[in-house]
Structure 1
Amino acid sequence: MKRNIVLLLLFVLTASCNDWLEITPKSQISKEKLYSDEIGFQNALNGIYQGASVSDLYGKNLTWGMLTAISQTYNPESLQEAESYFSEYTYDNEYTKPIVTAVWEGLYKLIANCNLLLNEISDASPSLFTLDTVSKNVITGEALALRAFFHFDIIRLYAPAPVTEDETPLIPYQAEWPSEIKTNLGVTAALEEVIKDLLLAKDYLALCDTSFNKSAMSSFDARFNGNFWPAQGGTFMNYRGMRMNYCAVLGMLARVYLYKGDKERAYQYAWEFYNKFVFGKKWFKYNAPYDFTDDLTYRCKKHLSDCLFAFYNFDLLDNYADYTVYWGDPMMIQGVDEIFENDGDDYRKNYLLEKKEDWETTYTSLKYRRVNSFSIDSGEGRVLPNLRMSEIYYILIECLYEKEQAKAFELLQELRRARGCKRIVSSALGISDLQDILINDARREFIGEGQLFFMYKRLNKSILSVGAAVNPSNKVFVFGIPDSQKIY
């Protein structure tokens, strides 16, 4: 991936705040030259991934920064000003409003680059590509999936959750190049557009990832270390775990349908993924117990073997280390003993958190810390997980409750055992109790990954905290659309 020069990142970084719907490339390389051969198309797509991984977006704000602070994961005293205000749900002051604006603009700029790429590749001859239609379809499929992915997070951040039945038209869905001002959509209509793109992407990616180049997908080493398992078509076809691969698209369809409230289809795509790629330990599996060890050199810190999709930031460890308050420590996780109550054997407490010296109940996460094997700034240390197999389990469990309750609790036990929890959870629980169990597991699972906030929002549940729980409301769950970007 390193050798692919990230050209489109220049487009993202040089576009002004007022042209998010109309990005004009300002690098010295013309659009015609960039899209004249396969390398140009590959560089363009890689540029979108790199642009998404910056600190303004998934390199910090949409993972371990703003979104994790909002979910009340951190002790407020260990936060800098911006994250501290986000944890208080103040989204429009001098510290937070620039971040809210940067996320909106940054995601739409990436969407514009997806549209430009899709526009150019639609007319490109398959003969330009090493693997002919296979290569062309992979680039097309990933661009479509990314366009859907970015729109979906805009919807989850800037529009009310579907459960509130608030269909105020707020979100423009941009699917053309050059971009034109679109009529704003309500949340249900916007989600339908996301689903359309994901279904198209699934079809484009299926052949390569499940048949032609399945060796690049079928193991942890293959997905996250292409050097061990070279794929047909060269380096670009490797590192599928950090790209919008076929399995990630299935997971995204399950995620989007559940958010929309369509449990039938959410179950359909979650089960397709589980049945084809998990059951019987096929491609994806939870880490073995020996990965959780007292020896930090060999300890698994991000359990990537169950990760479907992730971003990658070269400066992640430095950026995380540089985030400190006056006592010089990274963000401290609050409420650990409460979160892991009755599950003291959970690997996520014993091996992914570190108790602060002299502070009995204060922990920090090892997920992005430079400790021993992380001291080499490569591989796992730079990865930002976004979609996990555990989330697929959550979806299956919640959707199965109404279909086959015994199977739902069987999967819950399977998930808990994989994380070291030996305690058996009673199967005589109502759906609200089950959702509370899943939320509590997500509080352990998604530390520093940003997904917990969206779980609270989808269910319209109170956000749990060491102090009083934060009641659900649009003030808590919905960001204001930047004034300069409102469409009237």
Structure 2
Amino acid sequence: MRMKMKRIYYIIFIALLSLTSCNKWLDVQPELEIRKDAIFENEQGFKDVLTGAYIRLATPSLYGLNTTMVIGELISQHWTPLSGTLSAYLSSFDFTRTESKNMIEVVWLQYYQTILNINSILENIEIKKDMFTNGNYDLIKGEALGLRAFLHFEILRYWGGVPANTLPTDKAIPYVKNVTKDPNKLISNTYKEVLDNILLDLNEAEQLLSGDPVLVYSNAVLNSPATLAGVDKTKPYPSDEYHFFRQVRFNFYAVKATKARFCLWTGDNTGALENAMSVINAKNSDGTSKFVLGNETAANNGQLTFPTEHIFAVNNTLSTQTLTSVFFNNNTAYTQNATYLNSAFETTLHASDIRYRNNRLWEVRVIPLAGNFNFFKKYNDTDSKTAVKDIPIIRLSEMYFIAAECGGEASFRDYRIARVLDPSIDGTLTSATAIKDRLEKEYRKEFYGEGQMFFFYKRLNYNKFTWPVVKNVTEAAYKLPLPESQLMFE
């Protein structure tokens, strides 16, 4: 893990919030009240607990696998399901099977346990404000508030209704602001209450992060702490090691990008465009772009998540081992038919697409007695290429898609050029319907294995999938059922 831990308080704290009984939601151990004073006795304790939250996000239970590569991808038909397994159940929108229910509950609880960790920071940081140095009070509180808003929005996008058909008074999800055992604080809020709280936290986070190091230094500098040793003392570098690696922290631009998503979800296209363009147009002090669309060099080096695009990612040093076992085994369900893939990537029209050509994204292997299989390579260290340690959650290309959908379609050309797509598509974005049709194709190509296709379908309430085969879809497929551990409070 690049964010080095100096102490292990966060491990103790996470353990105190772990799942150890049937009454999972309320199982916050009494020792928490004893230990929290020690955990938060100094600034480092706050850093450690927040780092612990990021570590949890990177585990397979959340963005290390389930919420990026499994649930949304299976519902969106991106993988070839194996009969009688979780992959088959989720692909057929069957959330009643034990396997489906277990995964849904794990994800729900992991989300909220991360939120409880964050809330512990926010409950204690005000009374310890004077002990913080180097602007870390604003930085830590801003990250915590932004991350709390982001995670509740993620939960809402999975468990809430289709936005266009959800009333403000409809029950949605709990917006939890405390470390609590009070059942009354775990009851689902209304849809409007959740949206209001998300925006409130995001706005405060944006203000607090107005001094974020990512606004002062380039990502190249922030991702190279070794320069503190004095490689080039003529250049400015942060004096606090906590200020590095902002792309795997909930930074200022992660707030802006989340606002762009939020506004798009709620139908505020003006706000969505404004926030998306603020990320696209972000500049370093020398005038270079803060975030850069991935190019041929990155793709050729196996960096198919395009790290220069990462607005917010999670870092997992074990991702290569974990994901290789998922995607590169002979019994994997996480593969796809070559004919369908050629159709998805429009290979006849876009023969030079940097993601798909030269077998970069998929590798065909012959399995004895089984035939040819396509293995997904986005997250694998293959052919001596760069291993993926940072799993993207928000990328720059999504901001281009949001801009294109909300009136900034001219910016789509930059994305098209970066991916080396055929220029003929530039002239096709002449109506809202044409833009939506093009974006459906591009979301699939761009975010294969990242979970974003599901949210595109849900937001626009698609009632039929046309790829890989025609499949009718009801609204029920877009709303994960509340787990049993939550139903007791409803």
Same-fold call, TM > 0.5?
yes
> Per-residue deviation at 1:450?
1.1
Aligned AA for 1:140? K
Deviation digits for residues 99-141 of structure 1, max 9, x if unmatched? 1111111111111111111011111133x2231xx11111101
Distance 1:339 1:198 in 2: 35
- Separation in 2 of the partners of 1:340 and 1:244? 32
1:242 to partner: Cα distance:
0.5
Letter paired with 1:111: I
Counterparts of 1:90 and 1:448, CA distance in 2 = 21
1:263 matched residue in structure 2: 269
SS in 1 for 2:204: helix
Q: Could you give the per-residue CA deviations for residues 34-93 of structure 1, whole angstroms, max 9, x where no partner exists?
A: 10011111101001111122211111110112222221111224x882222111111121
Specify the code of the residue in structure 1 equivalent to 2:15. Answer: L
SS at match of 2:175: coil
Does 2:400 match 1:393?
yes
Secondary structure of 1:346's counterpart equals coil
Q: Contact conserved, 1:80 with 1:325, CA < 8 A, in 2?
A: no
Q: Distance in 1 between matches of 2:306 and 2:179?
A: 39
User: Equivalent residue for 1:189?
Assistant: 193
Structure 1 residue 474: Cα displacement: 2.6
One-letter amino acid of the counterpart of residue 376, structure 2:
S
Q: Quick check: 2:327–2:376 contact (8 Å CA) kept in 1?
A: no
Rounded Cα–Cα distance in structure 2 between residues aligned with 1:312 and 1:25: 31
What is the aligned partner in structure 1 of residue 330 from structure 2?
Answer: 327
For the pair 1:160 / 2:161, whether they are aligned, the reply is yes
Distance 1:172 1:118 in 2: 18
Shift of 1:244: 0.2
Question: Do 2:157 and 2:455's aligned partners in 1 also have CA atoms closer than 8 Å?
Answer: yes
In 2, Cα distance between the equivalents of 1:179 and 1:253? Answer: 31
Output the CA distance in 1 between the equivalents of 2:279 and 2:192.
24
Is 2:291 the counterpart of 1:284? yes
- Show the counterpart of 2:378: 367
Does the CA-based 8 Å contact 2:81-2:333 persist in structure 1?
no
Hey, what's the Cα distance between the residues in 2 that align with 1:14 and 1:264? 42
1:103-252 pair list within 5 angstroms: 103-126=107-130, 128-131=131-134, 134-167=135-168, 168-178=170-180, 180=182, 181-182=184-185, 183-209=187-213, 211=215, 214-215=216-217, 218-219=218-219, 221-228=220-227, 231-252=237-258
Q: Distance in 2 between matches of 1:243 and 1:428?
A: 35
Given the alignment, which residue of 11, 16, 27 partners 1:11?
A: 16
Alpha-carbon contact 2:328-2:375 (below 8 Å) kept = no
Change (3 A) 1:21 1:373: farther
Measured at CA, do residues 16 and 304 of structure 1 come closer, stay the same or move farther in structure 2, by a change above 3 Å? farther
8 Å CA contact retained: 2:19, 2:27: no
CA distance in 2, matches of 1:318, 1:284: 28
Matches within 5 A, 1:333-482: 333-334=336-337, 335-341=340-346, 342-350=349-357, 352-357=360-365, 363-373=374-384, 381-400=388-407, 407-408=408-409, 410-425=410-425, 426-427=427-428, 429-461=430-462, 462-471=464-473, 473-482=474-483
Match of 1:108, SS state, is helix
Query: Does the Cα contact within 8 Å between 1:144 and 1:200 map onto a contact in 2?
Result: yes
Aligned partner letter, 1:356: V
Q: Deviations over 1:221-246 (max 9, x none)?
A: 33544435785343221111111000
**Aligned counterpart, 1:404:** none
* Structure 2: distance between partners of 1:412 and 1:362: 33
Partner SS for 1:386 = strand
2:233 aligns with: none
Mapped to 1, the partners of 2:251 and 2:280 lie a distance apart of 15
Q: Distance in 1 between matches of 2:280 and 2:304?
A: 23
* CA shift digits 1:385-430 (9 cap, x unpaired): 0001111111111111xxxxxx51x212211111111332124532
Deviation for aligned residue 1:370: 2.7
Structure 1 residues 270 and 428, CA, compared in 2 at 3 Å: closer, same or farther? closer
CA distance in 2: counterparts of 1:277 and 1:85, whole angstroms? 45
The amino acid across from 1:469 in the alignment is K
Q: Alpha carbons of 1:38 and 1:30: their partners in 2 closer, same or farther (altered >3 Å)? A: same
Per-residue deviation, 1:189: 2.9
CA distance in 1, matches of 2:15, 2:221: 30
Quote how far apart the aligned CAs of 1:292 are.
3.0
SS at match of 2:393: strand
Partners of 1:80 and 1:272 lie apart in 2 by 46
Q: Which amino acid aligns with 2:160?
A: A
Matches of 2:129 and 2:486, distance apart in 1: 37
Q: 1:398 to 1:105 in 2, by over 3 A?
A: same
Quick one: distance in 2 between partners of 1:65 and 1:25? 35
* 2:69 counterpart SS class: coil
Relative to structure 1, the CA distance from residue 470 to residue 9 in structure 2 (aligned partners, 3 Å threshold; closer, same or farther) is farther
Give distance in 2, aligned partners of 1:112 and 1:17. 18
Is the Cα–Cα contact under 8 Å of residues 68 and 449 in structure 1 kept in the other structure? Answer: yes
User: Per-residue deviation at 1:21?
Assistant: 5.3
Aligned with 2:278 (options 272, 282, 287)? 272
- Please state how far the C-alpha of 1:355 moved relative to its aligned partner: 3.5
CA distance in 2: counterparts of 1:111 and 1:286, whole angstroms: 31
Distance between the aligned counterparts of 1:164 and 1:288, measured in 2? 39
Kindly provide the amino acid, as one letter, of the partner of residue 413 in structure 1: R
Residue 40, structure 1, aligned to residue 41, structure 2: no
- 8 Å contact from structure 2 (residues 74, 87) kept in 1: yes
The separation in 2 between residues aligned to 1:229 and 1:317, in whole angstroms, is 29
2:245 and 2:329 mapped to 1: Cα distance? 39
- How many Å separate the matches in 2 of 1:85 and 1:26? 40
Provide the C-alpha distance between the structure 2 equivalents of 1:286 and 1:464, rounded to a whole number of angstroms.
28
1:76 maps onto 2:81 in alignment: yes
CA contact 2:5–2:48 (8 Å) conserved in 1: no
CA RMSD of aligned residues (A): 2.7
**Distance change >3 Å, CA 424–CA 188, structure 1 → 2:** farther
Length-normalised TM-score, structure 1: 0.87
TM (normalized to structure 2)? 0.87
Distance in 2 separating the partners of 1:264 and 1:443: 25
Identity %: 26
Match of 2:72 among 42, 63, 67: 67
Letter in 2 for 1:431: A
What is the CA deviation profile of residues 301-343 of structure 1, one whole-angstrom value per residue up to 9, with x for unaligned ones? 3211011000122322222222269835572134211111121
Residue 290 of structure 1, CA deviation? 2.6
**Does the Cα contact within 8 Å between 2:59 and 2:316 map onto a contact in 1?**
yes
